[in-house]
Amino acid sequence: MHLYCIDINPMKPYEFIVNGDDEYVRMYDKRKISVDPVKQFRREIKNNKTEKKRYSIINETEDSAINGTDNSDDSSDNGAVHVADIGASASINVDSDYDEDDISSFASSSLQYLSYITSAVYSYCGTEILASYSEDDIYLFDANGRSNSVLHNYSGHLNRMTIKGVNFYGPRSDYVISGSDSGYIYIWNKETEAIVQRKHADKSGSVNVLEAHPHIPTLATSGLDKTIKIWEPLNVSQRLKKKNLRK
């Protein structure tokens, strides 16, 4: 099995999880000498994957049209670090990154053979585990519960082409964040499962890595572009100009 991710429980440094090219998150305890995990987590196959859904984007800022941030500038793909706005000002409805052909091609009966976990991480206090499945949703597990103890799942993005990361955002892991094959980043409310932000972050394709600052509301993302994007909730007067960043 190829391993894709290892994460340590922030409250129990002896406990860690690993995931690879199958459908299990495996939990290990460094205090125990064993090749077997102390617990395995696995999502249950859903029966409604063929249903096309629309997702309500709450407080969505419609990319450059609203906030003045242009992420499509070809000259920006030069290995630089750019700062963009992740603020919010409007409410709209958008389709998910799945289309009818995408969903019908991967019905629930075949998910257990095609889907594997591309990333798994602990929450800030180690009581929850977030796992992103290829060709499927993101699932939130109870770290102290049973192996199939799914608390929530998050839909709308498309995880097919690359090994995508998933992460929490907020001081108390209030939000779930992930990239998509479409070049967008998605932010879900952890409790309601609603998409609260969708931003174009990579003009070349997939967004693969998302890392939140541990203390301030800043997010770094990267994908197939040569640039790293830094996202912050800025007001109009705080927004940085690209020409100033190059200085």
pLDDT digits (tens, 9 = 90+) for 60-99: 333 332 233 344 444 344 444 445 556 543 333 444 555 5
> What 3-state DSSP class applies to 109?
helix
Give CA–CA dist 185/54, Å, rounded.
Answer: 17
Q: Which amino acid is at 46?
A: K
At residue 115 the predicted structure's pLDDT band, cuts being 50, 70 and 90, is confident
For residue 94, the model assigns a pLDDT of 44
Give CA–CA dist 169/199, Å, rounded.
Answer: 15
Least confident of 10-24, 37-51, 75-89, 156-170: 75-89
Q: Does some domain include residue 106? A: yes
Instruction: Choose between 232 and 127: higher pLDDT.
Output: 127
> What 3-state DSSP class applies to 245?
helix
Q: What is the mean pLDDT of residues 4-9?
A: 95
Q: What is the CATH number of the domain that holds 13?
A: 2.130.10.10
For residue 242, the model assigns a pLDDT of 62
Q: What are φ and ψ of residue 57, in 5° steps?
A: -95, 110
Give CA–CA dist 71/21, Å, rounded.
Answer: 32
Structural domain boundaries, residue 18? 3-44+55-246
Q: Does some domain include residue 220? A: yes
Whether the CA torsion 54, 22, 123, 200 is positive or negative: it is negative
Q: Does some domain include residue 185? A: yes
- Of 15-29, 88-102, 111-125, which one has max mean pLDDT? 15-29
Q: What are φ and ψ of residue 147, in 5° steps?
A: -65, -25
pLDDT in tens, 179-230: 999 999 999 999 999 999 999 999 888 999 999 998 899 999 999 989 999 9
For residue 49, the model assigns a pLDDT of 44
Q: Does some domain include residue 49? A: no
pLDDT at 137 > cutoff 70: yes
Q: Does some domain include residue 50? A: no
Q: Does some domain include residue 19? A: yes
Tell me the pTM: 0.73
At residue 173 the predicted structure's pLDDT band, cuts being 50, 70 and 90, is very high
Neighbours of 98 (CB within 10 A): 20
Q: Does some domain include residue 177? A: yes
DSSP 8-state class, residue 76: G
pLDDT in tens, 25-64: 999 999 987 778 999 999 876 544 433 333 333 333 333 3
Residue with tokens 């967008």: 184
Give CA–CA dist 188/13, Å, rounded.
Answer: 28
Total number of domains constituting the chain: 1
pLDDT at 245 > cutoff 80: no
Which H/E stretch holds residue 221? strand 219-223
- Is residue 66 a contact partner of residue 199, using CB atoms and an 8 Å limit? no
Q: Does some domain include residue 143? A: yes
pLDDT at 126 > cutoff 80: yes
Cα dihedral: 85, 196, 16, 180 (round 10): -70
Cα dihedral: 123, 126, 131, 137 (round 10): -50
Query: What's the residue count for the chain?
Result: 247
